[in-house]
């Protein structure tokens, strides 16, 4: 029973990581709509299994998408969520989130 549950969690984590990677690749290709769909899917699953590192990755990717598609308020919300989780975990993503947050805040100030 326990081994089965652990395998299921591992499978969900692999699925989420795959969706995040796909979303980030689509983001680099500037296919924002499909990227957002994949990242949203990864966020939902990550939250269901409480996989915080991928929750942070998903929020950061969603922030980047919102930033690239001229949605600064949404970008700010997602980026702050990513930064909060990253800081809680003490993971290197903090630096990326801080850099993106600075860009988003610059955009908001210039509006």
Q: Are 42 and 78 in contact (CB under 8 A)?
A: no
For residue 91, what are the contacts with CB-CB under 8 A and spacing of at least 6?
A: 53, 56
Helix (H/G/I), strand (E/B), else coil: 66: helix
Q: What is the pLDDT of residue 2?
A: 66
How do residues 63-90 score in pLDDT, each as one tens digit?
A: 999 999 999 999 999 999 999 999 999 9
Round to whole Å and give the CA distance between 50 and 80. 18
Q: What is the pLDDT of residue 15?
A: 82
Q: What percent of the chain has pLDDT over 70?
A: 95
Under the banding of pLDDT at 50, 70 and 90, the label for residue 60 is very high
Round to whole Å and give the CA distance between 54 and 62. 12
Phi-psi category of 108—alpha, beta or left, where left has phi over 0 and alpha has psi -120 to 50? alpha
Q: Is the pLDDT of residue 16 over 90?
A: no
Round to whole Å and give the CA distance between 97 and 111. 21
Q: Is the pLDDT of residue 1 over 80?
A: no
Of residues 18 and 59, more confidently modeled: 59
């Amino acid at each position: 029973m326990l081994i089965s549950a652990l395998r299921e969690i591992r499978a969900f984590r692999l699925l989420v990581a795959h969706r995040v990677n796909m979303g980030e690749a689509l983001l680099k290709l500037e296919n924002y709509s499909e990227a957002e769909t994949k990242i949203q899917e990864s966020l939902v699953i990550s939250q269901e299994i409480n996989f915080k590192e991928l929750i942070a990755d998903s929020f950061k990717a969603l922030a980047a998408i919102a930033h690239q598609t001229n949605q600064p308020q949404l970008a700010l919300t997602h980026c702050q969520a990513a930064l909060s989780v990253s800081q809680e975990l003490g993971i290197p993503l903090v630096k990326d989130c801080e850099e993106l947050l600075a860009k988003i805040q610059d955009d908001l100030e210039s509006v």
